[in-house]
Amino acid sequence: MIHQFENQQEKAETMRKALKQIPLQLTLAMILPFAVFAQDTTNPAMEKFQQDLKTAVLNGSVTIPQVKQLQSDAETLKAARSEQTPGAPVDLLTPWRAVSNMKKTMATVDAKDRDTLRQDLEAVIANKQQPASSAAPPSAGQKLGKDIFKAVMMGDPTEAQVQQLQDSLNGLEAMKGEQGGRPLEKLKALNSSKSQIESVMNAGQFRPQDRQAVLDDLNNLGPQGGGMRR
């Protein structure tokens, strides 16, 4: 029994030494892709995530396949965000699926580093939502789009709920671009979209502060939808 325990200790120590001998280039190749979340190299949340991920790799808490999966999902998220340009349809499903996959991968990380990495990921997402200090204040519609995006990424809604939020945001965006038409019909469509968003926010698993932010945004939304671009 003692001999077996000593062998296990030796194997564990050998693994730790092997991980510490991973070439710097390989470590950077695994870690650097997560900079897709960062707006710049001074993002403290991103720096902490990278450092904690590197520690988790050295601890043996994260495997190379897990890191590669996280990298793939991070690239998907980056591409989805870059495609959200003025005039393009709002896409919540693609980034939500990427973040959901990352959360699932995080759940398989060894317990000693799991919570730290999940908190790091949430901090990175939250940091990404912060506007530059010099940026103009967002319109009511823009704030609604940003707050819904944050709520979806931080919460645990179902795919059907995310689809409904996406459809409602696109409905508001289309309404904003319409010229003329019947005011009564526009008001009815606006109220319908707002009601759909409110229903999802009240039914889905969202953080209380995110739910309240979206509900407040709905109350502040003007008759033209306010412009939804994030």
Compute the distance between CA of residue 223 and CA of residue 159 in angstroms, rounded to an integer: 29
Three-state DSSP class for residue 6 = helix
Whether 150 and 125 have beta carbons less than 8 Å apart is answered as yes
The mean per-residue pLDDT over the stretch 68-77 comes to 85
The verdict on pTM exceeding 0.85 is: no
The mean per-residue pLDDT over the stretch 41-45 comes to 68
CA proximity to 72, closest of 29, 18, 33:
33
Q: Which band of pLDDT confidence, cut at 50, 70 and 90, is reported for residue 130? A: low
* pLDDT at 67 (0 to 100): 86
Boundaries of every domain in the chain: 8-128, 139-230
Residue 171: pLDDT over 60 = yes
CA proximity to 140, closest of 25, 73, 53, 227:
227
The mean per-residue pLDDT over the stretch 100-123 comes to 90
Structure tokens at 74: 């991070």
Higher-pLDDT residue of 223, 200 = 200
